[in-house]
Structure 1
């Protein structure tokens, strides 16, 4: 008996979903179609496609077959009915917000969102006459109270970047729905393999596809999906007019990367948990943040709504920036770079990665110390990652 996608596991979806309709000439891989325009001899057919009454493509800023294959794969992995893509993750976030917000609207979110997202909340939306309320992450009662006052959008990120804080998505979705808000969740850190917010009552799910979906740090992209096709159509319309279109070559690279998403996440999570547990024993480390640790503030919530705890962790060191300067260059198997989600372990302080746009005072207000180091664990052998961090810490100790 043929299985439906709902009966298929995430690993199989990551490999097969969204590709069959785009295979041509007997190929087993989707083609990269760079054509800007798509021609028609039949004028009536051209019109029907142009106005959306018939499937097809007319212009690359609107749609593209390679890009659509990517959208379909994400849609199936997240259990959505529709998806649309963007040139970057921030394009997905900003276009989604700007689609639905107008002057006089109110949006409720949390203080610990990614730095670029936070800048939209604190710098750009207020200029548009939009009331932005940022609550302490994890304070569910405060969020519910603010949402109950009325809002157009409830925007969440769980786990957060870079402190991997957890929000009870199902509980917040219920509060948002009760208030008539559109509930949006950035699911980049968790990935569809570990968390499906739509199943928890959320309206829209976002990803920076640049990160874990692509997994190889070689392509930029973003995507939003949802159950309500009309919501996605509105976002698509905003994007097609404003032009933040995904490149077909980037779409191909991300689709190729997604085939190993499930495999990568299993190893990366194994490494993240092992490293987090080791860091708890290091005297120079003040705090370790990882949802898979039982000491994590909302470990129980994470355990309830996530299938795995992800590959992201962060830790704060004594001595702040000075210690960061000494420690990170000593790591042999880590890129010191402003990226995450790749097969290679990548490290960096929030002051130069997730929240480089923010001032030290703004980071402090969000609970991000200057000595916080974000780690995106790769697929290296666990013992090598641990040995690498051990020798780096030992080198610092010997010099003190």
Structure 2
């Protein structure tokens, strides 16, 4: 029996499981096959099965793209080799000499690309407070071609009003792209709020198991999707079939994982918020977070990322990570295991000290990616490490 399941009317969790799956007409596999072939034979002159070379188009990658487009509510998706490949591909859609508006508090790799690489190729960037629509409006110039939205921001969890910024951009004829890596389409869908493009590091929550690097670009219109796909093909940024298969496997459990992640992050935020060694907690789920009400309006949850300022600066941070047992001291995020890192010396080390200061990233800042371990175990481990610092051990 052929299984041809239309996804549009299905709920999110069902689309995670069934999107892009039934691609095996020979053996009826319930798992999407991996097609590792680099090339596909022609049936005759100018006659193909729809595939000729895997950089351009591959059945396994197509399956993942179908799944992700459905989850984000897009007209099409392109899966690429890394999250940075996704960002690079989007920026190559812009004309020479174009101007881009982005936040000052953004992922360090994005900052490095915007500040150190692309200006040499003619693009100009203004980094502003994206939480202030008036500041965004003031930064738009006649040749502004793109507004880059990262919400919640990395690592300070600042929020951008997606609807307000996208409405402003549309009035000015400016493209908008939202990095949705921190929340995944389970918790936020920027296309529904007016964004033109959404990017992901699929390395993070979509894959969820810290065993692949990948990226994706989801487009709001078919025309834009075709342009993105052509650009990725020309640049050679598309991902391998095996990496696409790993992400497609991981995304099946996305809703269950995100629920567990968020539960743990909320518990950790409560612990840290009450601790005397913690000067400030950045987590939109806390009622005192300046973006709390906006998060309630535009997100379907508060997410699993949090940051906090530890009294004692960098030395205290390193004492903390030495005493933790369950949190791996590592970059990246979104895996099933809990990770802790020091943005100043790790994920945001590419930023100059002045850029870090301008973004509000100080030496005592700690970023946590809450995993899916038992909640009490994570809370207890964090509590004992803080207690050890407090006692001078």
| Bin of the TM-score, shorter chain as denominator length | over 0.9
Normalized against structure 1, the TM-score is what?
0.94
Within 5 Å, which residues of 2 pair with 1:341-352? 341-352=334-345
Question: 1:3: how far off?
Answer: 8.6
CA distance in 1, matches of 2:300, 2:43: 50
Aligned residue for 1:365? Answer: 358
Report the Cα offset of residue 345 of structure 1.
0.4
The aligned counterpart of 2:118 is 125
Give the Å deviation of 1:157.
0.4
SS in structure 1 of the partner of residue 205 of structure 2: coil
1:279, 1:326 → 2: CA distance?
16
Counterpart in the other structure of 1:29: 31
**C-alpha contact (below 8 Å) 2:21/2:30 kept by paired residues:** no
2:19 corresponding residue in structure 1: 17
- Given the alignment of the two structures, is residue 244 of structure 1 paired with residue 246 of structure 2, yes or no? no
2:86 maps to which residue? 92
Could you tell me which runs of 5 or more consecutive residues in structure 2 were left unpaired when the two chains were aligned: none
Which deviates the most, 10-19 or 269-278?
10-19
CA distance in 1, matches of 2:360, 2:228: 32
Q: Is the 8 A contact 1:279 1:288 kept in 2?
A: yes
Q: Structure 1: which 4+ aligned runs deviate by more than 6 Å?
A: none
Superposition RMSD on alpha carbons, in Å?
1.6
Matches within 5 A, 1:109-188: 109-147=102-140, 151-188=144-181
CA distance in 2, matches of 1:266, 1:360: 36
- When residues 24 and 69 of structure 1 are mapped into structure 2, their CA distance, relative to the original with a 3 A threshold, is farther
Deviation at 1:42, TM superposition (A): 1.8
Partner Cα separation in structure 1 for residue 96 and residue 103 of structure 2: 20
1: CA distance, partners of 2:122 / 2:286: 41
Deviation at 1:101, TM superposition (A): 3.5
Greater shift, 336-345 or 129-138, is seen at: 129-138
Q: Judge conservation of contact 1:314–1:372 (CA < 8 Å) in 2.
A: yes
Contact 2:79 2:244 survives alignment (8 Å): no
Which residue of 365, 369, 375 maps to 1:382? 375
1:24 and 1:283 mapped to 2: Cα distance?
63
Counterpart of 1:311 (choices 304, 320, 343) is 304
TM-score (normalizing by structure 2): 0.96
| Contact 1:61/1:243, CA 8 A, preserved across alignment | yes
- Give secondary structure in 2 for the equivalent of 1:133: strand
Q: Which moved more, 1:361-370 or 1:250-259?
A: 361-370
The structural deviation recorded for 1:144 is: 2.0
Matched, 1:67 2:61: yes
Change (3 A) 1:23 1:200: farther
Supply the distance in 1 between the matched residues of 2:24 and 2:102 (Cα, whole angstroms).
38
How many angstroms does 1:168 deviate by? 0.3
Say whether 1:57 aligns with 2:51.
yes
Structure 1 residues 392 and 266: alpha-carbon distance in aligned structure 2, compared to 1, 3 A threshold: same
